[in-house]
């Protein structure tokens, strides 16, 4: 046996093992990017050495059906998709389509849809009645999960279609339901799921039908397999519309274009939005839109020639925990942070992961030198989602929390769930974080006072607290102008930004103080109550009065009273208020409009305005903007990629409008 053939066989064995774990056991010991690399290497070797094509044929498109469920044959084979990872690879796919059709000048129109990271299914209907539900299995035979699919919320058991038709789609679990499921499993002492895809797959393979019903699975239908008369469907976009008319849940965020640059822009836009979507997607599926062209292109032995999965960089990866550090937050909370062997996750080199608290370390039994699976969502610091226990070799060490603060060496307080340093006035780490919070965009919004500048000014004794910021020009103007990478213009911009920030609204000022549990909403509630900065003092604080205020609970009130019980806080607050020009609270002048007194919720991303702008308009029109969906909500404005809130609003039959309707409504109001 040649070295090439031996390499191909070894890759085949490895891929089949990972396929079995992924499809049949709902787990994986390899991240998506590494798996994709293996598949790409395997396919490349087969392409370069066609005499070994038999090994590619052995791989198939899935795995054999589980012995727990009976097998059924799909009427029409259920193929997997070929992958593209770059714009060049997608353009190569487009060229292959043109070459097959014999026309390189022909512009191909594609229907581009989210690639849902869930479990593929096929549902068979005869004369409108649902009779059989299957997993993809090996593409020819799937597992019979008819009863389990029927438990999925809003899954139609009757459709308005005469004849026989196979509906293809994806079953998934949204992020909120996934977190709740794992929380319930922890309480029961059962093994948790690594990710929503595994949870959906594992839930759907429950033998207990009632247990499946409790898992809150959801579905998207995206195509048709066998149908008696395919001529009635002209294009993929029409198929999606028809599936919605049949009563299926359809992901309506699809995009149709024959411009490859526009498709690339859509792919990039969805990638940026990925972390805000309430379910997992791992790419964009691009399908030739014209059904006649799909018929001409047909299928290869494994893939449709008319569709490709334009994948995103994986946001999961396996690496090793090599050290541990402990961060001290603004309120003294001690947060353990894993120091990782650097790894590429979604195009970003990651070397740290959040461990949240010591309970999380104990729950997952995370140890030093462990190999771990990490996940990165958007710009948020990655988190460890599982430990690869099978990779342990005895070098692992148990993790213990320090007894003293890593910043100021004060004895830590272990009385709460969150371990805390109570030395708030002398702990440099806490002071720095308080200054960063004070200067932030939602606080005093001092442009030029970023984290690095604050660290430098504090470490070099230009500032010791937030009050010192307002004396920087008076004390250190020349020193700052002569700092590396500063100069006169940069320094002048900073001093102007500081001067401008001195005039602030009362609610922004209260928020900027960083009182524990007092966020944006509570700051506005307190500003409305106190009316002026002069009233915001210990003599005006009456606990019983605060408890009567709608929107303030025990936790917030106790924190405010604790803040004002400190002489140091009171003295500091007095000096700060008299240094600034804090405007008295003014109720927004509310217009008498068609939405006056209405409770409304914004969800998803708006294109024409920011969420803050939209909320400000709503409040000016007399509406109350709420953060959660409930039976008291009158109206929901749904933007791009609205997730679980939109779904809940539909369930509660709340009126839903899109951004353009909202703009029209606000203009007419």
Active-site positions?
115
| Cα separations in angstroms, 525 against 248, 505, 508, 546 | 43, 13, 11, 10
From the number of C-beta atoms within 10 Å of its C-beta (0-12, 13-18, 19+), residue 185 rates as: middle
Could you tell me the sign of the dihedral formed by the alpha carbons of 46, 52, 57, 63, in that order? negative
β-partners of residue 220 are 170
CB 270 within 8 A of CB 281: yes
Which residue, chain included where needed, has tokens 């893939």?
303
Helices (H), 367-515: 428-439, 451-459, 472-481, 487-501, 506-512
d(CA 387, CA 372): 5
d(CA 249, CA 169): 9
| Exposure class string for 354-374: b at 16+ Cβ within 10 A, else e | bbebbeebeebebbbebbbbb
Report strand pairing: 635-638 vs 599-603. parallel
d(CA 427, CA 421): 8
What H or E segment, with its residue span, contains residue 395?
none
- Long-range contacts at 84-93 (CB < 8 A, ≥ 24 apart): 84/308, 84/309, 84/310, 84/311, 85/36, 85/40, 85/310, 85/311, 85/313, 87/260, 87/264, 87/267, 90/260, 90/263, 90/264, 90/286, 90/308, 90/310, 91/260, 93/286, 93/308
Residue 624, Cα to own-chain centre: how many angstroms? Answer: 27
Task: Enumerate residues 6+ apart whose C-beta is below 8 A from 355.
Answer: 324, 335, 336, 337, 338, 361, 366, 383, 384
C-alpha distance across the termini of the chain, in Å: 78
């Amino acid at each position: 046996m040649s070295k090439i053939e031996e390499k191909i066989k070894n890759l085949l064995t490895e891929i089949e093992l990972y396929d079995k774990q992924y499809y049949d056991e709902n787990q994986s010991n390899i991240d998506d990017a590494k798996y994709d690399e293996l598949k790409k290497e395997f396919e490349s070797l087969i392409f370069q050495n066609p005499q070994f094509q038999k090994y590619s044929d052995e791989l198939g498109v899935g795995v054999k059906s589980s012995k727990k469920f009976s097998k059924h044959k799909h009427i029409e084979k259920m193929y997997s998709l070929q992958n593209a990872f770059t714009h060049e690879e997608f353009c190569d796919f487009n060229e292959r389509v043109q070459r097959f059709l014999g026309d390189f000048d022909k512009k191909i129109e594609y229907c581009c849809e989210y690639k849902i990271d869930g479990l593929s299914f096929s549902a068979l209907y005869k004369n409108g009645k649902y009779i059989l539900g299957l997993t993809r299995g090996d593409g020819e035979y799937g597992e019979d999960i008819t009863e389990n699919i029927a438990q999925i919320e809003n899954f139609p058991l009757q459709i308005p279609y005469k004849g026989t038709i196979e509906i293809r789609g994806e079953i998934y679990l949204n992020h909120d339901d996934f977190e709740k499921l794992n929380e319930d499993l922890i309480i029961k002492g059962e093994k948790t799921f690594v990710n929503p895809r595994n949870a959906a797959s594992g839930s759907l393979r429950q033998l207990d039908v009632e247990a499946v019903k409790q898992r809150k699975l959801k579905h998207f239908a995206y195509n048709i397999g066998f149908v008696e008369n395919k001529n009635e469907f002209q294009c993929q976009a029409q198929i999606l519309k028809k599936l919605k008319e049949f009563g299926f849940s359809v992901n309506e965020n699809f995009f149709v274009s024959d411009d490859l640059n526009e498709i690339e822009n859509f792919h990039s836009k969805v990638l940026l939005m990925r972390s805000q979507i309430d379910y997992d997607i791992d790419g964009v599926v691009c399908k030739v839109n014209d059904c006649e062209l799909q018929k001409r292109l047909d299928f290869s032995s494994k893939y449709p020639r008319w569709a490709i999965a334009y994948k995103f960089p994986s946001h999961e990866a396996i690496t090793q925990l090599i050290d541990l550090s402990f961060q001290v937050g603004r309120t003294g909370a001690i947060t353990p942070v894993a120091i990782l062997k650097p790894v590429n996750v979604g195009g970003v080199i990651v070397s740290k992961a959040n461990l949240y608290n010591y309970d999380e370390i104990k729950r997952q039994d995370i140890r030093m030198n462990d190999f771990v699976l990490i996940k990165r969502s958007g710009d948020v610091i990655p988190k460890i989602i599982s430990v690869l226990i099978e990779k342990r070799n005895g070098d692992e060490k148990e993790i213990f929390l320090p007894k003293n603060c890593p910043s100021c060496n004060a004895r830590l307080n272990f009385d709460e769930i969150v371990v805390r340093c109570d030395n708030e006035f002398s702990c440099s780490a806490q002071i720095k974080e308080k200054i960063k919070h004070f200067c932030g965009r939602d606080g005093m919004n001092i442009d030029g006072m970023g984290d690095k500048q604050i660290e430098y000014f504090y470490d070099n004794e230009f500032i010791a607290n937030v009050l010192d910021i307002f004396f920087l020009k008076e004390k250190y103007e020349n020193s700052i102008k002569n700092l590396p990478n500063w100069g006169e213009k940069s320094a002048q911009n900073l001093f102007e930004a500081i001067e401008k920030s001195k005039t602030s609204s009362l609610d922004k000022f209260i928020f900027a103080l960083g009182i524990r549990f007092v966020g944006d909403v509570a700051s506005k509630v307190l500003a409305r109550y106190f009316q002026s900065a002069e009233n915001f003092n210990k003599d005006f604080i009456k606990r019983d009065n605060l408890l009567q205020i709608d929107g303030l609970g025990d936790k917030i009130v106790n924190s405010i009273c604790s803040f004002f019980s400190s002489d140091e806080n009171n003295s500091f607050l007095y000096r700060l208020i008299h240094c600034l020009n804090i405007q008295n609270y003014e109720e927004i002048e509310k217009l008498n409009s068609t939405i006056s007194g209405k409770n409304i919720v914004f969800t998803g991303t708006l294109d024409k305005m920011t969420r803050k702008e939209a909320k400000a308009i709503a409040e000016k029109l007399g509406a109350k903007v709420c953060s959660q969906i409930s039976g008291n909500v009158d109206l929901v404005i749904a933007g791009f990629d609205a997730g679980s809130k939109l779904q809940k609003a539909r369930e509660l039959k709340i009126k839903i409008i899109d951004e353009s309707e909202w703009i029209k409504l606000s203009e007419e109001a």
